[in-house]
Amino acid sequence: MRGENRQQFYYQLILYICGFLLFWEWMRPLEKVTDTQNITVFIIFAAFSFFISFLQVSWWLSMPLKMLGLVFILDGLFLYERLFSKEWFLIIYQQFAYNIDLILAQQWGEMTAFFRSFLFLVLLWLMSYLLYFWFVIAKRIFLFVLMTFFVITIMDTFTEYNGQWAIVRTFIIAMIALGVSSFSREMEKEGISFGGMKRIHRWILPMAAIVLFSTAIGYASPKPGPQWADPVPYIESAVGDSGGNGPGGGSIQKIGYGENDSELGGAFMRDDTPVFRVAAKKESYWRVESKNHYTGKGWEDTMEEDIRVANGGDLGIRTFTDEVETEEQYTLVNFNDDVQLNKLVYPYGAAEVVSYPEQFQFLVHQPTGEVETQVNQKARQIPGYRMHIDVPSYEYDQLREAGDDDPREIRDEYLQLPDDLPGRVGNLTEQIIKDEDNRYDRVKEVENYFSTSGFEYNTEDVAVPGESDDYVDQFLFETQQGYCDNFSTSMVVMLRSVGIPARWVKGFTGGELEDTDIELQDGDSYNLYQVTNNNAHSWVEVHFPGIGWVPFEPTKGFSNPTDFYVDTDDLDSSSEEDNSEETDTPETESPNQKQEIEEDFDSDESGGASEEGGNFWNYIGLAVALAGIAIVLYVTRFRWMSAFLKRRYKQSEDPATYQNAYHYLLKVLDNKGLKRKPNQTLREYANDVDRHFQTNDMKVLTHHYERMLYRNEQQSDQWRKVTELWENLINKALS
């Protein structure tokens, strides 16, 4: 008997470990999809809690133990005061008081990391109980396994988390857990002794074989690709902005200007946070840096670390040669207080920074044009500066006649393409440019291709390239909708595929015109532009021998603010300029109009069409949620009703209550699969039930009910005792 108990213990241990491993799978994605740090600590605490729960020591021992673990973790992570010192308690008290206030004020997002960690640890603690109950007491594993699979697949689909191995791991663990639990339950049911460890191989071997076999089959067998496109953009477009633009969406999202472009794709979240404000004569794009290396998924900077420290003066970030006509101007940039860009933003032709806080140093990375701002070797945000710029204007014929004779270092860096870039990208580009004989017109053809070939500007329904997809190829041939990153990257890659050196540039668009004709200290009048995170942008620079890098704007709905002109002998050059702008860049509009276009896009996407759609989907979502709740309530109806009825029946002792209670039990048993046939007498049924549960309770209970029913007994001193039987039976039926 003792041996049997020990074996039972081993089975429980295996089950419980499996439970913990499955739970671990729930915690793995946290690091990836949330800003949770120190996940190891949490896992250790979870393991600790699970261990304590498994020992089944009484609560007065397990509670303080877990509490102690929790306190130590919080102390180690957040508190610098001496443990259990006066200050320590004070801090704890303050944290709790503050966060409880927040909770009462329903400002969930504001809670401190300390308190969130505390809550999370408590959750882990509770989970250890729950899983102990599920796995060891109730031996109901399948539900949790199923939920684990759901979580992993949802995480995999809707977040960056890659659940490929998690699924395999979960599968193996789940198979083992289910196997062991089913085996042990079967043994228990049949009352068979476990028969000693000697014969353990009889079931261990087949189980291991089945697990390994099915895992191998599952892993090796071919899996069809997704049957429909990535659901995330679809759902997001369907829900629209109604879900709020908080960071709760969970998918890859880009907000504002980001450093890391190695994985492009996903929605571009709107964010109206102001970044900087500029006073300038005319609107221009604000360049930050360029990137040279296309990976198939995004951009990386692989240029040599050619960094030069500059203390004002000429930064050496001009992107064009002296051949280009320029106009001298000044511009004033003022960053918002809480911005942490730590870089200069500058228009084309920026020559030197003329006035700025003098403790700042500039780290110029010449090939990319990235200028980092530093104070004492540490990256710091510069509050504002004044710049001297030579605004370039490019002459058409000069561009057309520039030829294809790029210097070698340009060709080396800016013709790079990933080896596995699908050939159809190059083929398409060849098709597009086949009628043109010079670089400028070819580039123009490619630039125009995006506005004429059914591409759609969309910041929400944007695909993330899969493992085997190329970002550009996917955009050009499959999705055809996206925002600036899609358009600009595609254009660069297309140009490179036909041997035109090009690079990808990041920065900001001109922003919103806030005021005109404001006079600055130099006596000139300027326009005032507000640039927000929404203005984060990317575009294209193409190299022209002898001229330098010329910006192009492939993104649909945006226009290139750069000046191009036709050099004629006609003196009325300004009108010519206007003309040429109209002929060559038909979408070029004044800054104001451009803003309107952008807004149009927004209202088209989230405001107009999907406002109703959003509402509709809201209702659908609500209905689904309600239906879900209803289903859950229905499925668990006996559980919560039992708890409710238990109390009620205990309070009242009249025959009607007894009858209701008894019939409720019949219903629960019926639900359990022990159905009473109408022609079955209660005794016959009670025998069946007792045989099933191997008790005598139902017979006794039924006997009392019979007395009430068939003998018309109104009072019984036995009913108290019977209530206990009733509870036992309900619990048995529900477990």
Partner 1 sequence: MTQQLSLYEPKISEVMKNVNKVMVGKEEVTLLSMVALLAKGHVLLEDVPGVGKTMLVRAIAKSLDCEFKRIQFTPDLLPSDVTGVSIYNPKEMAFEFRPGPILGNVVLADEINRTSPKTQSALLEGMEESSITVEGSPVPLKEPFFVMATQNPIEYEGTYPLPEAQLDRFLLKLNMGYPTAQEEREMLSRTSGDHPLTKIRDVMTKDELLDIQNSVKEVYVDDTIRHYIVDVVAATRDHDSVYLGVSPRGSISLMRAAKAYAFIQDRDYVIPDDIKYLAPFVMPHRIILTSEAKFEGYTAEGITQEILEHISIPVQRNRHE
Binding partner 1 (rule: CB under 8 A), the pick from 568, 593, 671, 681 is: 681
Q: Residues 117-156: x/- map of binding to partner 1 (CB under 8 A)?
A: ----------------------------------------
Residue 682 interacts with partner 1 (CB under 8 A): yes or no: yes
Task: Tell me the per-residue interface mask from 320 to 359 with partner 1, x by CB under 8 A, - otherwise.
Answer: ----------------------------------------
Report helix, strand or coil for 556: coil
If one asks whether residue 707 binds partner 1 (CB under 8 A), the answer comes out as yes
Site string for partner 1, 212-231 (x = CB under 8 A): --------------------
How big is the site for partner 1, counted in residues (CB under 8 A)?
A: 19
Confirm or reject binding of residue 709 to partner 1 (CB under 8 A).
yes
- The CB-of-172 to partner 1 minimum distance in angstroms stands at 49
Q: DSSP string of 714-726?
A: ---TTHHHHHHHH
> Which one of 79, 706, 723, 728 is in contact with partner 1 (CB under 8 A)?
706
Burial tier of 331 (Cβ tally within 10 Å: 0-12, 13-18, 19+)? buried
Q: According to DSSP H, which parts of 453-602 are helical?
A: 471-474, 484-497, 573-584, 591-602
Helix (H) or strand (E) holding 393: strand 384-395
Contacting partner 1 (CB under 8 A), which of 32, 202, 648, 683? 683
Q: Is 711 in the site for partner 1 (CB under 8 A)?
A: yes
Q: Is 82 in the site for partner 1 (CB under 8 A)?
A: no
Asked if 679 touches partner 1 (CB under 8 A), the answer is yes
Q: Which is nearer to partner 1, 581 or 713 (CB)?
A: 713
The contacts of residue 390 (CB under 8 Å, 6+ apart) are 318, 326, 327, 328, 329, 349, 351
Of the candidates 186, 412, 430, 684, which one interacts with partner 1 according to CB under 8 A? Answer: 684
Closest distance to partner 1 from the beta carbon of 682 (Å): 6
> Cα–Cα distance between 51 and 21 in angstroms, integer?
13
Candidate residues 570, 571, 678, 714; the one interacting with partner 1 per rule CB under 8 A: 678
**What is the closest distance, in whole angstroms, from the C-beta atom of residue 705 to partner 1 in the complex?**
9
Q: Which is nearer to partner 1, 105 or 656 (CB)?
A: 656
Specify the long-range contacts of residues 369-377, CB closer than 8 Å, at least 24 apart.
369/287, 369/288, 369/289, 369/290, 369/317, 369/319, 370/288, 370/289, 370/343, 371/310, 371/315, 371/317, 371/343, 371/344, 371/346, 372/342, 372/343, 373/342, 373/343, 373/344
d(CA 151, CA 544): 52
Q: What are the start-end ranges of the E strands in 124-167?
A: none
The two structure tokens encoding residue 111: 């809670």
Q: Which stretch binds partner 1 (CB under 8 A): 60-68, 336-344, 672-680, 691-699?
A: 672-680
> With respect to partner 1, which residue has the nearer C-beta, 657 or 695?
657
φ/ψ (deg, to 5) at 537? -150, 165
Residue 396, token pair as written in the block? 């058409």
- Name the residue among 94, 99, 123 with its Cα closest to residue 110: 99
- Tell me if 714 contacts partner 1 by CB under 8 A: no
Stretch that binds partner 1, among 110-118, 271-279, 623-631, 671-679 (CB under 8 A): 671-679
Output the DSSP codes for 198-245. GGGHHHHHHHHHHHHHHHHHHHHS-----SSS-HHHHHHHHHGGGG-S
Question: Site map for partner 1, 617-656, x if CB under 8 A?
Answer: --------------------------------------xx
Q: At what angle do helices 484-497 and 439-452 cross, to 10 degrees?
A: 140
Write out the two tokens for 450: 């995006």
Q: Is 712 in the site for partner 1 (CB under 8 A)?
A: yes
Count the Cβ atoms, other than its own, within 10 Å of residue 85: 11
Q: Is residue 680 at the binding interface for partner 1, with CB under 8 A as the rule?
A: yes
Nearer Cβ to partner 1 (579/659)? 659
Nearer to partner 1, 525 or 652 (CB): 652
> Contact positions toward partner 1, by CB under 8 A?
655-656, 659, 663, 666, 676, 678-684, 706-707, 709-712
